[in-house]
Structure 1
């Protein structure tokens, strides 16, 4: 049976996760479909990569939320006072930075990767922004914090700053510093610098 668009995207995400370069001819052959069928179902190579990267990002965020819930339940802050959304975002960034397949994609195709990941009208960044809005909205509604600006504006700053640190090796030839990113993002969200480094 011919794979659905969702099944194609999941398979592409697994290729990225395993560090396999996305060659659409080989990929389509493995799925048992033609390249034209692949294109009709999911678009061109960059469309497919965008959908696959969003799939990975979405599942990584969901896993970070589950980690919090396993250790902290429904609490808005942990015993050290760290806000739930900040802990989830830290876990999310750490998991992405530690994904060897994703890092290989960034290393081997930096221009394509950054274009797909940071396009404000693309398949990844708008969804990542929306996921962050949902994450922070939950903490606002549960009384965790009061944002100084709209959640949309705050999440725009969070995602863009997170990208600058997460992809700093590609964007600015600097090693990613996730600790600095967490400290700065906490200052953005809470309006103060944490007393202990995150």
Structure 2
């Protein structure tokens, strides 16, 4: 039986997760389908890579939110007073950065990896932004905080800032500093609107 597009994407995510290069000929053969069937189902290699990376990101974000709920239920702030969205986003970045297959992809194919991950019209970044809007929206709706700008603008800044720190080794040759990213993102989220003089 020919695998569905969803099954193909999940298989590609497993390949990336274990550090295997996503060669479409080998990958299609492993699935028992032709490259043309693979293309018809999920698009070209970068399309498939984007879908697989989004699948990984979505599962990582969902896992981080599950961890919060297991420890804190539906509270908006933990016992230390930190917002749910900040804790979940930090866990998400740490888990992404710690995924060895993901890091191998960026080390082996930095140009393709960054293009697929950060293309504003691609398959990853718009969905990551939407997931952040949804996450922060939970805290806004629960009265956890009032953003100084629209959620869309805030999440655009958060995602782009997170990318700059998460991929800094590839982008500018400097080690990722996830603590700095968390501090700056918290400042953005908890910012108060400036007083107009």
TM-score for the superposition, normalised by structure 1: 0.96
Alignment match, 1:141: 141
**What secondary structure is seen at the aligned counterpart in 1 of 2:85?**
helix
Q: Following TM superposition, by how much is the alpha carbon of 1:127 offset from its aligned partner in structure 2, in angstroms?
A: 0.2
Alignment match, 2:195: none
Q: How does 1:107-118 map to 2 (within 5 A)?
A: 107-118=107-118
CA distance in 2: counterparts of 1:165 and 1:143, whole angstroms: 29
Alignment match, 1:196: none
Q: How does 1:41-56 map to 2 (within 5 A)?
A: 41-56=41-56
Alignment match, 1:195: none
Q: Following TM superposition, by how much is the alpha carbon of 1:114 offset from its aligned partner in structure 2, in angstroms?
A: 0.3
**Residues 141-183 of structure 1: CA distance to partner in whole angstroms, max 9, x if unpaired?**
0010000000000000000000000000000101000000000
Q: Following TM superposition, by how much is the alpha carbon of 1:129 offset from its aligned partner in structure 2, in angstroms?
A: 0.2
CA distance in 2: counterparts of 1:150 and 1:22, whole angstroms: 38
Number of corresponding residues: 192
RMSD: 0.6
CA distance in 2: counterparts of 1:134 and 1:78, whole angstroms: 19
Q: How does 1:154-165 map to 2 (within 5 A)?
A: 154-165=154-165
Alignment match, 1:16: 16
* Moved beyond 3 Å, runs of 4+: none
TM-score for the superposition, normalised by structure 2: 0.97
CA distance in 2: counterparts of 1:191 and 1:183, whole angstroms: 12
Q: How does 1:59-70 map to 2 (within 5 A)?
A: 59-70=59-70
Alignment match, 1:75: 75
Is there any run of 5+ residues in structure 1 with no aligned partner, and where?
193-198
CA distance in 2: counterparts of 1:84 and 1:75, whole angstroms: 7
CA distance in 1: counterparts of 2:29 and 2:106, whole angstroms: 25
